[in-house]
A = this chain, B = another copy of it.
Amino acid sequence: MSSKRLSKLTTALRNSGIETLALNPSPSLIYLTGLHFHLMERPTVAFFTTDSEPVIVLPELEMLKLRDLPFEIKAFPYGENPAEWDKVFLEAGQSLGLKGKRIGVEPLHMRILEFNKVKAIAGEAECPDATQVVGSMRVCKDHDEINAMRSAVGVAQEALKATLPSIKIGATEKEIANQLVTQLLRHGSQPDMPFAPIVSSGPNSANPHAVPSERKLQAGDLLVVDWGAAVDGYISDLTRTFAIGKVEDEFSKIHQVVQEANAAGRAAAKPGIPIANVDIAARKVIERAGYGKYFTHRTGHGIGMEPHEDPYARGDNMQLLEPGMTFTIEPGIYLPGRNGVRIEDNIVITADGAECLSDMKRELRTMD
């Protein structure tokens, strides 16, 4: 698979006018080569050009990872002394004749650590943003990628079902999060998950990016659970909101509004329209109900190898939807200091509409 992607990359590089790409350990590197490296203090950078085999500069102790690759790659390994690394990087650059050439990078993933090495190779030439080179290849998922995501959604849903008995008055957010992670592993998630689950209750649920705390669930709380699994390098990212005992009428109401917004977003998604329309459709439901200013984020984001990637469901994003694009629909209403609701599903654009990969009950379920 990687050989095929590498030959597509050559075309993408030519079309971009950038010609050379430098990647540090990142989803795009895995996508192209299957190579996993830790992001650490030892810089690892692979260079891709249109006319030579790829080159990689890496720690000597990672060399075994290059065995049995289905394509040729020229390695420039270095030892443990950082004083020697610059020289090895320059040799790698010379072998590809990169001095004075523009070398494209991915600003979202490359650190200054690696960027300094790349700039030293490029010399006076600029290092442009090349996010769209591999990004344009990754944004539409193929059959195998969608199947992996389907599995990741299945694992996540089964794991939450198995965690439901732990969701009860008196349980802490952390206890529920730990139980959920245990169940994710038991049901087949990779240990390196896309993100730690968000389990936020009561006032904490009004913070979209809360971290699970020692707070105990109380009657009257809403409980937001935002979680995902990873299967074969692809992820899921779902959210459901629960009522703990009897909750205020307004909390039930905002849940209903968010559920309708989620449905409207899913219904709007289809090929050929700007993804902005998905955001607008979901947001309109919440605005009409009078809660527009409490929906403080975009309606969704692409998912695949990364928890957030293209395409982003924002009202200003005119990117056209295409079959194979995969993203979240996750409207929310957050009442500061009180409670919050979010309902999140994962969809894939099909030839004539969209398929929702997640099917777990969205209605407000009461636990106590």
Contacts and interface: CB of A to CB of B under 8 A. Distances in A.
Interface of A: 36-38, 40-41, 59-62, 64-65, 80-81, 83, 105-113, 115-116, 177-178, 181-182, 185-186, 190-192, 195-197, 206-212, 296-298, 301, 307-309, 312, 314, 316, 336
Contacts of A210: 64
A193 to B, nearest CB: 8
B109 A206 contact: no
Contacts of A301: 41
Contacts of A59: 297
B181 A191 contact: yes
Contacts of A108: 41, 111-113
A331 to B, nearest CB: 13
Given A41-B308, A195-B38, A211-B36, A336 B107 contact: no
30 contacts: A41-B108, A41-B308, A41-B312, A60-B296, A61-B208, A61-B209, A61-B297, A62-B209, A64-B206, A64-B207, A64-B210, A81-B314, A105-B112, A106-B112, A107-B113, A107-B116, A108-B111, A108-B113, A109-B111, A110-B111, A111-B111, A111-B112, A115-B115, A178-B185, A178-B186, A178-B191, A181-B181, A181-B185, A181-B191, A191-B212
Given A41-B108, A112-B115, 14 more contacts: A36-B211, A37-B209, A41-B309, A41-B312, A64-B206, A80-B297, A83-B316, A107-B113, A108-B112, A178-B185, A178-B186, A181-B181, A182-B182, A192-B196
Contacts of A209: 37-38, 61-62, 65
Contacts of A41: 108, 301, 308-309, 312
Nearest first, the 7 A-B pairs at minimum CB distance are: A107-B112, A64-B207, A107-B113, A191-B196, A192-B196, A61-B296, A80-B298
